[in-house]
Structure 1
Amino acid sequence: MANASSKRIASANETALKNLELGLLIVNLLSPIIRFLLSLITSRTFFPRKLVIFLHILFIGGSIFTWRWFKTIGKPSAGQPGKQVRVGEDLGGKGVIELGWDLIYMTWICTLGSAILGDWVWWLSLLVPAFGAYKLFSTIRPILAMFLPGLFGPKSPRNPQAQAGNQAGAQEQAEQNDKPESKRQAKLKARMEKGDKRVQQVQVQRNR
Structure 2
Amino acid sequence: MAQKATKTLAASNTRRLNQTLYITLAAHSLWWFLRALVFRASFSRRSVILYLVLSAPQLLIQLYFERLSRPTLNPDGAVKRAGEDLDAKGLTEYMWDVVYWSYGCIVMAAIMGDYAWFLWAVIPAYSLYAAWGMYTGMRGGYQDAAGMPQPQASKRQAKMEKRGGQKMQYR
TM-score range, shorter chain: 0.5 to 0.7
Change (3 A) 1:28 1:10: same
Query: Taking structure 2 as the reference length, what is the TM-score of the superposition?
Result: 0.66
Larger radius of gyration: 1
Q: Is the 8 A contact 1:114 1:121 kept in 2?
A: yes
Percent identity between matched residues is 24
Pick the structure with more helix per residue: 1
Write out aligned runs for 1:15-164 (5 A): 15-39=15-39, 44-47=41-44, 50=46, 52-76=47-71, 85-137=80-132, 141=135, 145=138, 148-149=139-140, 153-155=142-144, 157=146
Change (3 A) 1:134 1:13: farther
Q: How many pairs align?
A: 143
Change (3 A) 1:88 1:30: same
Return the offset for 1:85.
4.9
Query: Taking structure 1 as the reference length, what is the TM-score of the superposition?
Result: 0.56
- Please provide the CA RMSD for this pair: 3.2
Most deviating of 25-34 and 53-62: 53-62
Change (3 A) 1:90 1:77: same
Return the offset for 1:36.
3.2
Structure 1 Cα separation of the partners of residues 55 and 86 of structure 2: 20
Consecutive unaligned residues in structure 2, runs of 5 or more: 74-78, 149-171
Consecutive unaligned residues in structure 1, runs of 5 or more: 79-83, 160-208
Q: Is the 8 A contact 2:72 2:81 kept in 1?
A: yes
The residue that corresponds to 1:201 in the other structure is: none
Bigger relative CO (Cα 8 Å, ≥ 6 apart): 2
* 2:4 is the alignment partner of 1:4: yes
